[in-house]
Amino acid sequence: MPAEEKARATYLRDVFSAELVTGPFSIIVGFDGGVMALNDRLKLRSLAVAERGDKVYMASEESAIRRVCPVFDDMFYAEGGKPVVYRVKGGKQ
């Protein structure tokens, strides 16, 4: 990243270090119009995502998804620190 942006990011990390979410985690958050899932940037905790028709399943373990949906159309593991977002049909933008 450019030097100015890097300096700003470093400053924010230093000043707000107590507020950073660190360690292994996967979070799933519903919002008006969809759902977003995110795992830690180092992938210490996995995040599995499966699709079956117009449904999506998200969990930190593939076995949890297979328990409720043994057959699915597609399945992948989210990249570390990159959000996975699904919008509800007809939901707000």
pLDDT in tens for each of the 93 residues of the chain? 899 999 999 998 888 887 777 788 889 999 988 999 998 888 888 899 999 999 999 998 899 999 999 999 999 999 988 999 999 887 655
Phi-psi map region of 4: left, alpha, beta (phi>0 left; psi -120 to 50 alpha): alpha
Q: Is residue 55 part of a domain?
A: yes
With respect to residue 11, please indicate whether it lies within any of the assigned structural domains: no
pLDDT, tens digit (0-9, with 9 covering 90-100), for 26-44: 899 999 889 999 988 888 8
**Looking at the 3D structure of the chain, how many domains does it have?**
1
- 13 falls within a domain: no
Domain membership of residue 30 (yes or no) is yes
pTM value > 0.85: no
The answer to whether 42 touches 49, Cβ cutoff 8 Å, is: no
